[in-house]
A and B are shown apart, each in its own frame.
Chain A
């Protein structure tokens, strides 16, 4: 099922080679080999505790790995390096959290401007213009001066997406971006993600939104117990999953 790792091609954005991770005696990731190509949208799905979030968090090294190599846009993320070098790499990896994690003491606009100014050294006026553009893109131009606490969950997550985009990352990672949202707010976040995908953004999304996977994903990875058990295009995956665990997972989903 897992192909032998191969050298990254020009079209490789993220490459996992033999990634292993342990929490004490528990193996959270086991021999993960996978590739996200440039411009591709990959949806990672699977039951709770299967290692999806752990996997996506290894990409910007919020989680360390025990062994293996992870290339992001040609950079070896888990190689020994100075913290300054790691910070620089991280600034180029867009990451959206389940719980939004907006900075509550800053306004929406300031949330988006902070990192371009303080990490990339962008001028204030430039950062502001860019932030305003991004807010328009996520449909929240009228909320620039609001504070996160004044926004709904869906609006906060859209701001969080704009904040990540402000760093102009070559790829975006989404860690269950809609799991903390009320059902009626899921749609607005997914439609922003859908428009990003349509614009050609490389995306890796951990999500339980199977409709999103069906419509937007180029590839679906199914994980269980720290392994990627199946990689397929969504049509194949949803019509005829190969792995028995994936079959059971999908039939459990349909039962609801």
Chain B
């Protein structure tokens, strides 16, 4: 136990920010930046993918469906390797591991998140779409003004849990030398050589603490969203005998 404390004392800065400023930014800060950027960029992509998958136009629906199925049917590591080898060829110059990993996460999370968005849209009562169309809104206008604001709010907990998955997925950046938390821990392990259990215990605990706190936040959010929705449904049930089935929310870190 003492050596865990010693390792932390000697290497906390490396675990926190990697070799920055003398080297690239790393450690848990890089992990978090990568995750946040990944999910933030994946989000608009996922909304577009979901809209394309629910679109009445086949020309949009089919490519989006193929992309989502392919990405979801392939391990993340495969996507990393594909991006790693393909992107430099496509753009004609080398890209950093960080950029490679970011591209990968955007594609991968975009595909997963698009299924969350699609479920969120489809879970809304059909009457919402009908009412909007009856008032003369176009398909896209209905989505933008009526469906998405409701669906995205209901999806907040699921999106947060997707963010938690993303944090854990950044560890795979290790295989292409992305300087994130796992990379930093491995550097320490290589220096010390004799203390792998302690080093990787620290690594595991760090991930656990971050992800556990976020899971708690997701649960709290889920209760809040459900409460707000139930509040609405309860009024409806008690006063008019109409109850809306609550859309499913999956928290699945």
Complex partner residue of B150 from A101, A104, A118, A185, CB under 8 angstroms: A104
Q: Please tell me the size bucket of the interface on A.
A: 35 or more
A99 at the interface (CB under 8 A from B): yes
A2 at the interface (CB under 8 A from B): no
A88 at the interface (CB under 8 A from B): yes
A153 at the interface (CB under 8 A from B): yes
Q: A215 CB to closest chain B CB, in angstroms?
A: 24
Using known A-B contacts A62-B134, A103-B146, A105-B150, determine if residue A182 contacts B231 with beta carbons closer than 8 Å. no
Stretch at the interface among B2-10, B166-174, B237-245: B237-245
User: Are A118 and B141 within 8 A (Cβ)?
Assistant: yes
Minimal Cβ-Cβ distance residue in A for B146? A103
Using known A-B contacts A103-B146, A104-B150, A153-B242, determine if residue A91 contacts B136 with beta carbons closer than 8 Å. yes
Using known A-B contacts A153-B242, A180-B242, A182-B239, determine if residue A115 contacts B137 with beta carbons closer than 8 Å. yes
B58 at the interface (CB under 8 A from A): no
A181 at the interface (CB under 8 A from B): yes
Residues of A within 8 A of B128 (CB): 101, 103
Report the separation of the CA atoms of residues A101 and B127 in the bound assembly, to the nearest whole angstrom. 6
Using known A-B contacts A115-B136, A119-B135, A163-B135, determine if residue A180 contacts B241 with beta carbons closer than 8 Å. yes
Report the separation of the CA atoms of residues A87 and B136 in the bound assembly, to the nearest whole angstrom. 4
Report the separation of the CA atoms of residues A182 and B241 in the bound assembly, to the nearest whole angstrom. 7
Best-buried of B130, B149, B240 by chain A (most CB within 10 Å): B240
User: Are A83 and B146 within 8 A (Cβ)?
Assistant: no
B131 at the interface (CB under 8 A from A): yes
User: Are A167 and B136 within 8 A (Cβ)?
Assistant: yes
Kindly identify, within residues 89 to 146 of chain B, every residue whose CB is under 8 Å from any CB belonging to chain A: 125, 127-128, 130-139, 141, 145-146
User: Are B141 and A60 within 8 A (Cβ)?
Assistant: no
Minimal Cβ-Cβ distance residue in A for B148? A105
Complex partner residue of B134 from A93, A99, A102, A148, CB under 8 angstroms: A93
B72 at the interface (CB under 8 A from A): no
Complex partner residue of A83 from B125, B127, B132, B138, CB under 8 angstroms: B138
Report the separation of the CA atoms of residues A103 and B145 in the bound assembly, to the nearest whole angstrom. 10
Minimal Cβ-Cβ distance residue in A for B135? A115
Report the separation of the CA atoms of residues A180 and B136 in the bound assembly, to the nearest whole angstrom. 24
Report the separation of the CA atoms of residues A93 and B132 in the bound assembly, to the nearest whole angstrom. 12
Residues of B within 8 A of A87 (CB): 133, 136-138
Q: A88 CB to closest chain B CB, in angstroms?
A: 7
Using known A-B contacts A105-B149, A149-B235, A180-B240, determine if residue A62 contacts B130 with beta carbons closer than 8 Å. yes
User: Are A119 and B232 within 8 A (Cβ)?
Assistant: no
Q: B147 CB to closest chain A CB, in angstroms?
A: 10
Using known A-B contacts A105-B153, A152-B239, A182-B241, determine if residue A62 contacts B133 with beta carbons closer than 8 Å. yes
Taking Cβ atoms with an 8 Å cutoff, the residues of B that contact A are 125, 127-128, 130-139, 141, 145-146, 149-150, 153, 231-232, 235-236, 239-242
Q: Which 6 A-B pairs have CB atoms at the shortest separation, nearest pair first? A: A91-B136, A153-B240, A149-B232, A101-B131, A101-B127, A115-B135
